[in-house]
Amino acid sequence: MKTFELLNKGDKSVIDIYKDANAMWDEIFAKEWTASNLSDTLGSVQTTFEYRLEKYGLNRWEGQEIFVITGLTYFDNDYDMNDNKAKEVSLAFEMSWCSIEVKSLAKRLSKALYIEGF
């Protein structure tokens, strides 16, 4: 994963990359949402993330990586609570019209982060 390579090299631009991506999610989550209507939004904002993150020298796939990581980690993963927003974001990725690469990464990362429990 590109951003882990940047971290290993001590490249401080990774902080700006994640701040910028998180700001994009701030805009998305500022409105009321459900997994269903978020899934409709994700298909269109995928390209926005890819485009906006190009300014950091990231290619399309690296932008997708940041898109998924920041989306799935935006909320705490409180899997013991009834209101598990991380799980809803994971479900939204699954239901979305995002690329197969994004959906696959979201599924793998959701499992790695135990977003749906153990």
Q: How many CB atoms lie within 10 A of CB 40?
A: 13
Q: Is 98 contained in some domain?
A: yes
- The tens-digit pLDDT sequence of the chain (118 residues) is 788 899 999 999 999 999 999 999 999 999 999 999 999 999 999 999 999 999 999 999 999 999 999 999 999 765 545 568 999 999 999 999 999 999 999 999 999 998 876 5
Q: Is 118 contained in some domain?
A: no
Asked if 50 and 64 count as a contact pair (C-beta separation under 8 A), the reply is: yes
- Tell me the residue range of the domain where 108 lies: 2-112
This prediction's pTM: 0.91
Q: Is 33 contained in some domain?
A: yes
